[in-house]
Amino acid sequence: MLLSKDEAYALAYKKFSEILFDEYVKRTICHSLTLAELDNLPSHGFSRIPFYYAQAKSGKINVHASIGMNIADNAVMVSADNGFAFPAICRGLEKAEALLKHNAIVLLTISHSHHCGVLGQYVEQMARKGFVGFAFSNTPKAMAPFGGNAALFGTNPLAFGCPYDEDPLVIDMALSKAARGKILTAKQKKESIPDDWAIDSCGNATTDPEKAMEGALLPIAGAKGTALALLVEIMSASLTASSFSYQASSFFEAEGPYPNIGQSFIFIDPCRLNPHFQTSIQTLCAEILKQKNTRIPGMKRFNCRAEKNRNGITISDDLYRKLL
């Protein structure tokens, strides 16, 4: 099914209107999911809606969440109240931006949260306003530590963004060799996966996405990926007093307790430190682009966005029917 951006947004909005009444909550969710589809990141786009919907219906997501906020100096601490992460993060970003008018650096934490979608969207948003940003989120257990044979860490994405050119530089990556959402998409399409993405429940390499979902993902770069996953766990769960990945319930199952994960963000006003910051980034990136077959992180995403804004978003007929 081919949809324009507006048609896709309206489809998601109509579905969420069945379970949500707060306009801000619906808008933030639908904006993030539609943007993921535009950026050709379907594993974090509309494929998530049936899971969000089922968890909201079962009470695993608090649809009556009351976002709480506490500010101490240049730190913003937000509680998502075990509701959707999107509105809690967006409220936090608004306050963080206001504090950056008077501070060179601001910390934002989100506690008692849920899946936050594409983490890079938030640092992109702030980078377009001139700020450098770091973002961290833990997720329910899915990845084995290096040398291990069972899931303990989440895919634990981290993201970085900063002003660059017309579009910002955005680094956004999960710390598993593949995002769990990509394996879910392969399962839905009945496709195989590379044999170095995951292990089955017995600790053996597998190309079967269903067995991978029952087993564990593998970290990028072995021990280095595990170390980064630990860093994200500390920044997301320990810093926010939320659940560790191995304690959090699944994003893909309707029943169970709140996942209760966390996110944290660090934002910097680079012009307070170097008024020529953006020029220095352009100089560095120009050196990269002198070499053939190179690109700046984020550019592929923005090219996809431009193309799909022109030509539309394609979602499977099966998923389309589920969203009607």
Task: Please tell me what DSSP assigns to residue 191.
Answer: -
Whether residue 223 has pLDDT greater than 90? yes
> Mean pLDDT throughout 126-142?
97
Q: Alpha helices, DSSP H only, in the chain?
A: 5-16, 23-38, 49-58, 85-99, 120-127, 180-189, 209-214, 223-233, 277-289, 299-311, 317-323
Give residue 41's pLDDT. 95
CA neighbor of 118 nearest in space, from 50, 177, 172 = 172
Question: For residue 90, which phi and psi values (nearest 5 degrees)?
Answer: -65, -40
Percent share of the chain, pLDDT over 90: 93
Q: How confident is the model at residue 183 (pLDDT cuts 50, 70, 90)?
A: confident
Please give the model's pTM, rounded to 2 decimal places: 0.94
40-54 pLDDT per residue, tens: 999 999 999 999 999
> Mean pLDDT throughout 70-87?
97
Q: How confident is the model at residue 179 (pLDDT cuts 50, 70, 90)?
A: confident
Tell me the longest C-alpha to C-alpha distance in the chain: 55
Is 206 within 8 Å of 194 (Cβ atoms)? Answer: no
Whether residue 18 has pLDDT greater than 90? yes
Whether residue 158 has pLDDT greater than 80? yes
Give residue 173's pLDDT. 95
Give residue 185's pLDDT. 82
Residue 234 has, within 13 A of its CA and on its CB side, a CA count of 6
> Mean pLDDT throughout 176-202?
88
To the nearest 10°, report the CA torsion of 278, 123, 138, 115.
Answer: -170
Mean pLDDT is lowest, of 2-16, 120-134, 175-189, 267-281, for 175-189
What mean pLDDT value characterizes the chain? Answer: 96
Give residue 98's pLDDT. 98
> Mean pLDDT throughout 124-153?
96
